[in-house]
Amino acid sequence: MSSQSVLYDVPGPRARRRNALLTVVFLAALAAMVWWVVQSLADKNQLEWVKWQPFFTDSRSWSTYLLPGLENTLIAAALAMVIALPLGALFGIARLSDHWWMRGTAGLVVEFFRAIPVLILMLFANAAYSEFTDISPDSRPLYAVVTGLVLYNASVLAEIVRAGILSLPRGQTDAAKAIGMRKNQVMRHVLLPQSITSMLPAIVSQLVVIVKDTALGGALLGFSELLASVRPMSANYGANTIASFTVVAVVFVVLNFALTSFASWLEGRLRRGKRTTGAVVGADAVDQLATPGEHVGRDELDE
Amino acid sequence: MFDFLKGYDLLAAFWVTVQLTFYSAVGSLIWGTVLAAMRVSPVPLMRAFGTAYVNVVRNIPLTVVIVFTSLGLFQTLGVTLGADDFTTINFRLAVLGLTAYTSSFVCEALRSGINTVPVGQTEAARAIGLNFPQVLRLIVLPQAFRSVVGPLASVLIALTKNTTVAAAIGVAEAAALMRVMIENEAQLILISAIFAFGFICLTLPSGLLLGWVSKKVSVRR
């Protein structure tokens, strides 16, 4: 780990003794905490095997509650990503336009949707669908969740696309113009194809954000995704709230951790790559790009 | 046109949002700093704990965390955080959930700040005979703090937006009021515009200001 080498030397005998002591103290504190948690769980009978057993021995808990929930989570996330990506690309490119009115309009839209919580957008979409359309109340939550996610994430993806295009070396544009390409051709044949590779890590890690935000629909709009399966499960399996939450959380962590690892693997590959320009919008840039008023400029990406 | 606003206390709802943001920001700054200290510490066990905490908590949806504080901690385990009435209990639970979640992001921001300090800086510091506390105090932290302003600002603004999730456990903040108003009034577009405007007022100026500050203080390399 690089942080280690920055902060201290390789420990000598005294430092090793001190570290061993710290390890023991920390281990004791950790054990005390774990013991306290286990005790308070046991006091409320949350550790009984009956409450955990459905998830391990009964496949119906998975086929009735968890997997359908997970399926809805994934459907909503995938739909949101698929719709938001072209929209984001459109706005991202519009923000780089040579026409001030195009840049301005796209900038205004992006800033607006980046500055608003995604929940507000979902609540609005939900009410708007019930008021202005005749989408059945059963499928309305899915529509509302996807719409909210698309509006918010398209604006974040627009910034990712913009950063991706700006991350390419300037020589690419110069060379394309030198062989007589027009603005539009430069974008379509040179910049966009290369920037897609460079922003893949950021797009994958934005997918994690989308997956996490689908849970909002479960808690507030009656969308039957993974989190929403907790209530029926704990009602059916003898108030096993803690067990249900643990299983749901584990599923989310496994899914998102896989996506995050994939994103950083991609990033490492792209940075080392010989066939690309080495330009990349890192997975870490996503949080910054989701912040209203923030822009990642060319100079920041060059380092 | 704005008659329907009578009977709703918009400012009170946004004030709850601000309070949620404030307490969670303070809490997650403290806990996030502790976690970051663990993640760069020379003790392998502490590093492992910090890494595990960040990787687990960052990948759980905030909504799951918040709903768990209410259904799991309060209703199942009887944790009340020293409050008696539901309003205060829910508020404190929401702050707890937001803090637990946000501190993993604070930790990562701080750690990446420490990582931006070039190795040559500390090597040079050690070469002129500074010891570990001196290296940290005089060389690493001053540079790390400067590069951390931008990322921390992003975390703070994300937190402001995330406080709306507290509506899921009945905290009377802005999104909860918006839900009620949409339900009762036939002014969907106007109501949404008002709440959107409210959040833009909270997030955009701080985003612009903190972005400017972070550019001002950043170390040119």
pLDDT at A301: 47
Two tokens, residue B3: 């008659």
pLDDT at A68: 93
Alpha-carbon distance of A50 to A60, in angstroms, equals 15
pLDDT of B134 > 70? The answer is yes
Q: What is the mean pLDDT of residues B179-190?
A: 90
Q: What is the mean pLDDT of residues A227-256?
A: 91
> How far, CA to CA in Å, does A44 sit from each of B72, B82, B122?
11, 19, 51
Query: Does B4 reside within a domain?
Result: no
Identify the band that residue A303 occupies on the pLDDT scale cut at 50, 70 and 90: very low
Q: Quick one: residue B31, left, alpha or beta (phi over 0 = left, psi -120 to 50 = alpha)?
A: alpha
Task: Indicate which CATH number applies to the domain containing B24.
Answer: 1.10.3720.10
Identify the band that residue A198 occupies on the pLDDT scale cut at 50, 70 and 90: confident
pLDDT of A39 > 90? The answer is yes
Identify the band that residue B22 occupies on the pLDDT scale cut at 50, 70 and 90: very high
Please tell me which of the candidates A1, A234, A294 has its beta carbon nearest to residue B207.
A294
Domain that holds residue B88: 9-217
pLDDT at B119: 86
Chain A: residue nearest B41 by CA?
A4
The dihedral over CA atoms of B175, B178, B182, B188, expressed in degrees to the nearest 10, equals -100
Please tell me which of the candidates A44, A241, A252 has its beta carbon nearest to residue B71.
A241
| CB contacts, 8 Å: A73 with chain B | none
pLDDT of B142 > 60? The answer is yes
> A136-140, A293-297, B49-53, B94-98: lowest mean pLDDT where?
A293-297
Please answer whether residues B121 and B140 qualify as being in contact, where contact means their C-beta atoms are separated by less than 8 angstroms.
yes
Q: Hey, what long-range contacts does A6-13 have (CB within 8 A, 24 or more apart)?
A: A6/B114, A6/B115, A6/B117, A6/B119, A6/B121, A6/B122, A6/B140, A7/B40, A7/B114, A7/B122, A7/B132, A7/B135, A7/B136, A7/B140, A8/B42, A8/B132, A8/B135, A9/B126, A11/B42
Alpha-carbon distance of A84 to A96, in angstroms, equals 18
Chain B: residue nearest A211 by CA?
B61
pLDDT of B122 > 90? The answer is no
Chain B: residue nearest A119 by CA?
B164
Per-residue model confidence as pLDDT tens digits over A51-101: 888 888 888 888 889 999 999 999 999 999 999 999 999 999 999 998 999
pLDDT at A5: 57
The dihedral over CA atoms of A132, A135, A139, A143, expressed in degrees to the nearest 10, equals -50
Alpha-carbon distance of B191 to B193, in angstroms, equals 5
pLDDT at A82: 96
Alpha-carbon distance of A14 to A182, in angstroms, equals 67
| CB-based contact B150 A241, cutoff 8 Å | no
Alpha-carbon distance of B153 to B86, in angstroms, equals 32
Task: Report the amino acid identity of residue B115.
Answer: N
Q: Report the candidate in A8, A290, A114, A107 with the shortest Cα–Cα distance to residue B131.
A: A8
pLDDT at A204: 93
Alpha-carbon distance of B72 to A243, in angstroms, equals 10
Question: Residue A141: is it exposed, middle or buried by C-beta count within 10 angstroms (0-12/13-18/19+)?
Answer: buried
pLDDT at B99: 97
Average pLDDT, chain A: 89
> In total, how many domains does chain B have?
1
**What pTM was estimated for this model as a whole?**
0.91
The Cα of A127 is separated from the nearest Cα of chain B by a number of Å equal to 7
| CB contacts, 8 Å: A292 with chain B | 157, 200, 203-204, 207-208
Residue where the block lists tokens 């539009």: A184
> Length of chain A, please?
303
Please tell me which of the candidates B45, B64, B126 has its beta carbon nearest to residue A27.
B45
Please tell me which of the candidates B77, B78, B119 has its beta carbon nearest to residue A6.
B119
DSSP for chain A, please give it. Answer: -HHHHHH-PPP-HHHHHHHHHHHHHHHHHHHHHHHHHHHHHHHTT-S-HHHHHHHHH-HHIIIIIIHHHHHHHHHHHHHHHHHHHHHHHHHHHHTT-SSHHHHHHHHHHHHHHHHS-HHHHHHHHHHHHHHH----TTTHHHHHHHHHHHHHHHHHHHHHHHHHHHHS-HHHHHHHHHTT--HHHIIIIIIHHHHHHHHHHHHHHHHHHHHHHHHHHHHHT---STGGGHHHHHHHTTS-HHHHHHHHHHHHHHHHHHHHHHHHHHHHHHHH-SSS------TTHHHHHTSTT----HHHHH-
pLDDT at A203: 93
| CB-based contact A41 B122, cutoff 8 Å | no
| CB contacts, 8 Å: B44 with chain A | 23
Per-residue model confidence as pLDDT tens digits over A244-262: 999 999 999 999 999 999 9
pLDDT at B221: 67
| CB contacts, 8 Å: A234 with chain B | 71
| CB contacts, 8 Å: B114 with chain A | 3, 6-7
Compute φ and ψ for A117, nearest 5 degrees. -60, 145
pLDDT at A296: 58
Per-residue model confidence as pLDDT tens digits over A116-134: 999 999 999 999 999 999 9
Q: Where is pLDDT greater, at B88 or A45?
A: B88
Please report, rounded to a whole number, the percentage of residues in chain A having pLDDT higher than 90.
60
Chain A: residue nearest B207 by CA?
A293
Compute φ and ψ for A45, nearest 5 degrees. 60, 30
Query: Does B2 reside within a domain?
Result: no
| CB contacts, 8 Å: A9 with chain B | 126
Please report, rounded to a whole number, the percentage of residues in chain A having pLDDT higher than 70.
93
Two tokens, residue B22: 């404030």
> Length of chain B, please?
221
Query: Does B106 reside within a domain?
Result: yes
